[in-house]
Every structure is written in structure tokens, then in C-alpha cells.
Amino acid sequence: MDEATSMQLGIRRSAEMAALFMIGDGMLGLLQARRHVELWRSDVAAVDVLVRPFAERPARRRAYGLLQIGAGLALASALRR
């Protein structure tokens, strides 16, 4: 396997891992919105800023979960080509 092919494989694997994360995180956010948000609340501002918009808003987290699942599936589908 040449270097360019190896690099392409690495990029595709990284994209696949991103798709898996998006789908899994989306499912947890959809099915267990409150628990999932509380788990990720943090005293570290850079972390907490990501979940703060979903605190006490489970419907918003569920909607975002659906968006994540859709985006993850679209990314995985694009990798088939």
C-alpha cells in the first residue's frame, strides 16, 4: 500500500469513527436526554459551554440527537462511494 492510499484509508477510518460517535451520542441524547446532559455538565467552562444550551431542555437535546443521527448516517453513507 503506497503512502497516498494509506493516508486515504486513515481519513476514511477517522470519518467512520466520527460517524459512529455522532450516531451513538445522538441516540443517547434522544433516548436519555436529561441523564446524558447531566453526565456532561462540568466545572470546566470549555466543556460546559457545549451542553449548557440543553440543560433543562430535554426536547432541544432530543431534536439535536435526531440531527446528530442524521448527520452521522449521511457521513457514513458518503463513505460508501
User: pLDDT for 46-61, tens place per residue?
Assistant: 999 999 999 999 999 9
What integer pLDDT is reported at residue 81 of this predicted model?
66
Check if the beta carbon of residue 24 is closer than 8 Å to that of residue 18. no
Check if the beta carbon of residue 16 is closer than 8 Å to that of residue 76. yes
Kindly report the three-state secondary structure assignment for every residue of 10-79: HHHHHHHHHHHHHHHHHHHHHHCHHHHHHHHCCCCHHHHHHHHHHCCCHHHHHHHHHHHHHHHHHHHHHC
What integer pLDDT is reported at residue 1 of this predicted model?
78
Decide if pLDDT at 44 tops 90. yes
